A and B are shown apart, each in its own frame.
Chain A
Amino acid sequence: EAEVAQSPRYKITEKSQAVAFWCDPISGHATLYWYRQILGQGPELLVQFQDESVVDDSQLPKDRFSAERLKGVDSTLKIQPAELGDSAMYLCASSSGTGDNEQFFGPGTRLTVL
């Protein structure tokens, strides 16, 4: 069964360090989403890609966060420098971009900033 892959699953870093997360969507899915989930809350969108183009990054803190999907397949989300408040689960999701458009999530990366 096709799945969204994410790595690493867990990341512990010190504040002011740089971190990067990787996502490989379901094969053929044109739309890729990065969400952030704070403990006890639902996920909230950080950035959305359609192929290699950014569709929505209105909630991405651009002073420290960046995201890319250079070839329209896998994607990287970077934080530099990390702050204590960035501790959260970072989730990647993908959808076909056509038709009913169900979003499927990866297992997430749990980030802890010390």
Chain B
Amino acid sequence: GQQLNQSPQSMFIQEGEDVSMNCTSSSIFNTWLWYKQEPGEGPVLLIALYKAGELTSNGRLTAQFGITRKDSFLNISASIPSDVGIYFCAGQRFGNEKLTFGTGTRLTIIP
């Protein structure tokens, strides 16, 4: 099945650094969601975006819905050890439809 392109695939950063990742699609989506998944657990919803150009924050996390509706971005400021995990973007064309997930960005924090 189709998966959205996420970059980077993995990131190795030091605690306190800021993180940026993005997600791109060849198709337009009307909803973008960002999830975090830890080993052996299900994805946890971080931020939901519903309008092109929308910028939404959740604590140290900020996500943006791209103007073209074909991309989205997630930033994490001042990373801490509990930020470690895999971050997935997911797009949805219309309400109630299945989510199309990205390939994931694995975040590792170097001590």
- Is there contact, CB below 8 Å, between A42 and B98? no
- Is there contact, CB below 8 Å, between A42 and B42? no
Chain A interface size band reads 20 to 34
- Is there contact, CB below 8 Å, between B98 and A48? yes
Known: A42-B88, A103-B33. A56 touches B98 (CB 8 A): yes
- Is there contact, CB below 8 Å, between B48 and A102? yes
Most chain A CB within a 10 A radius of its CB, from B31, B42, B101: B42
A50 to B35, CA, bound (A): 23
A29 to B34, CA, bound (A): 20
- State whether the Cβ of B40 lies closer than 8 Å to any Cβ in chain A: yes
Kindly list chain B residues whose C-beta atoms are within 8 Å of the C-beta of A107: 41-42
Name B's A-contacting residues (CB within 8 A). 1, 3-4, 31, 33, 35, 40-45, 48, 50, 88, 90, 92, 95-96, 98-99, 101-104
Q: Can you list 20 residue pairs at the A/B interface with Cβ under 8 Å?
A: A4-B42, A41-B3, A41-B103, A42-B88, A42-B104, A45-B98, A50-B96, A97-B96, A100-B31, A100-B48, A100-B95, A101-B95, A102-B45, A102-B48, A103-B33, A105-B35, A105-B42, A105-B45, A108-B40, A108-B42
